[in-house]
Amino acid sequence: MKGILKLAYKLLVNDKAKFTALLVGIAFAVFLMMFVTSMFAGILNHSSSTVINIGASMWVMDPGVQTAANSIGMPDYVLDAVRSMPGVKYAVPLYSGGALVKLPDGTYQSVTVLGLDDNSLFGRPQLTQGKIENIYAENGFIVVNDSEFSKLENPHVGSEFELNDNRGVVVGIAKASTAGLFGIPTLYTTYERAIQYIPNPRYTISFVLVEPKSPSDIAKIKQLVKTLGYLALTKDEFMKRTSDFYTFQTGVGTNILIMTVISFIVGLSISAQTFYTFILENLERFGALARKAANWWA
C-alpha cells in the first residue's frame, strides 16, 4: 500500500503545472477563509472597544441596550440605588454619546464622547502626552490616538475645536487597547462637562460602572439591579451580548458566513477538478498497477 501511495504521489507531482495550480487554488481558498473569519473576529472585538478600554467589572444599563454604542439614559436614582446595594465596592456613572465637532479648518467631524466620573475618573485612558489632571481644566478634552486620529487633523496638546458652539481644548493624547468599530474618533472628558456640552434628554447616565467587593457578590448585585427594572452584566457578558447582536441581529454574521462558505466551495471545486483530471489522465496506469497487484496476490 505504501508503494502504491508513493507512486500515486509521484504521478501527481510529475505534472508541475497542474500540481502548482492545485496548491495555488487550495492556498487561495484557505487564505480567503482565514481572512474572512479573522475580519469577523476583528469586527466583534472592535464592537466592544468601549467595554474593553473602560475595563469595568460590571455594567448596569437599561434592558433595551444591546451594545455600548447605543446607550439608553437612566435616572440618577439608579446610581444612588446601586451604590447602596450590599456587595458593591463602588459605583460611578459613565456618559457615552455622539457629537459633532468643528475643526480649525472649518470642517465637521463626528466623534464619540465618553464622560468619566468627575471624582474618580474611573475608566480613564493611558496618556502618552499631557497629564490626566488637566482634564479638569476649562474645556479640557483628551483625544485617543488610534486609527481615526487623523480625522481630527492630528491634534496636539493645546489644539482647539468647537463642540456645539462650546470651545474645546486638547489637554492630553491617549492610547487605547482597541479602536472603535465605526471609524469615529473618541474624546474623553468629565461627566459634568459632557452633559453640559452635548444636548441630552432628561436622563443622562448611559451606564453605571460597578466594582463588586468579591466575585461571589456578582449574582446578588444582578438580582438587586433586576428588581429596579434594569440590567447588570459582567464585562464578559456585555461583550458577548454585543457580539451576539452583530452576529445574529445584523447582516454582518450572515454575510461573513456566506463568504466563508463560498471560499470553501471555491477551494473544494479547484481541488476536485484537479484530482478528477489527474485520475482520468492516469486511469490506465492505475489499471496496470491494479492488475499487477492482483497477479502478485494470486
Examine the fold and report which residue of 241, 260, 278 is the final residue of a domain before the chain moves on: 241
Residue 130 lies in a domain: yes
143 and 165 co-located in one domain: yes
271 and 234 co-located in one domain: no
Ranking 83-97, 130-144, 187-201, 279-293 by mean pLDDT, the lowest is 279-293
193 and 125 co-located in one domain: yes
pLDDT at 1 over 60: no
pLDDT at 289 over 70: no
Mean pLDDT of 267-279: 76
231 and 269 co-located in one domain: no
204 and 87 co-located in one domain: yes
pLDDT at 64 over 80: yes
Residue 100 lies in a domain: yes
Higher per-residue confidence, 73 vs 246 = 73
**Residue 57 burial (10 A CB sphere; 0-12, 13-18, 19+):** middle
Residue 246 lies in a domain: no
Residue 155 lies in a domain: yes
pLDDT at 91 over 70: yes
Examine the fold and report which residue of 241, 261, 282 is the final residue of a domain before the chain moves on: 241
117 and 146 co-located in one domain: yes
Q: What is the total count of domains within the chain? A: 2
Kindly report, residue by residue over 140-199, the tens digit of the pLDDT: 999 999 888 989 999 999 999 999 889 999 999 999 877 777 778 999 999 999 999 998
Residue 233 lies in a domain: yes
Residue 159 lies in a domain: yes
Kindly report, residue by residue over 110-127, the tens digit of the pLDDT: 999 999 999 999 999 999
Residue 120 lies in a domain: yes
59 and 34 co-located in one domain: no
Let me know the angle formed at the C-alpha of 151 by 145 and 155, rounded to the nearest 5 degrees. Answer: 55
**Residue 202 burial (10 A CB sphere; 0-12, 13-18, 19+):** exposed
- Cβ-Cβ contacts under 8 Å for 172 (sequence gap 6 or more): 127, 129, 130, 131, 132, 134, 135, 142, 143, 157
192 and 262 co-located in one domain: no
Range of the domain at 10: 2-44+251-297
77 and 216 co-located in one domain: yes
77 and 126 co-located in one domain: yes
Residue 275 lies in a domain: yes
